[in-house]
Amino acid sequence: MAVDVEQDGRLQEAYTLWRTAMEHGDTSAIQETARLLLLLGQVDEACELLHGLASTGNRIAMCQRSLLLLQSERVADACEIWRPSAAAGDVASMRELARLLEQAGAVEEAETWLRRAAMTDDPESIRSLAGLQERLGARHKAKLWLRQLTDRGTCVLLRACPTCTNAKATWRRQARSGCRWPRPGTATPCGG
> Domains in the chain, ordered, with CATH?
1-73 (1.25.40.10), 75-154 (1.25.40.10), 156-192 (no CATH)
Quick one: pLDDT at residue 144? 86
Query: In this structure, which long-range contacts are made by residues 132-135, counting pairs with CB atoms below 8 Å and at least 24 apart in sequence?
Result: 132/98, 132/102, 132/107, 134/159
Omega prior to 84 cis, within 30 of 0: no
For the chain, how many residues are written?
192
Q: Which residues of the chain have pLDDT under 70?
A: 1-8, 152-192
Quick one: pLDDT at residue 133? 92
Run of H or E including 19 = helix 11-23
Quick one: pLDDT at residue 127? 87
Quick one: pLDDT at residue 160? 45
Closest CA to 58 of 28, 18, 25: 28
Please state, in angstroms and rounded to a whole number, the distance separating the CA atoms of residues 94 and 47.
Answer: 22
Quick one: pLDDT at residue 186? 40
Quick one: pLDDT at residue 6? 66
Q: What is the pTM of this model?
A: 0.65
Quick one: pLDDT at residue 27? 73
Closest CA to 94 of 85, 106, 107, 103: 85
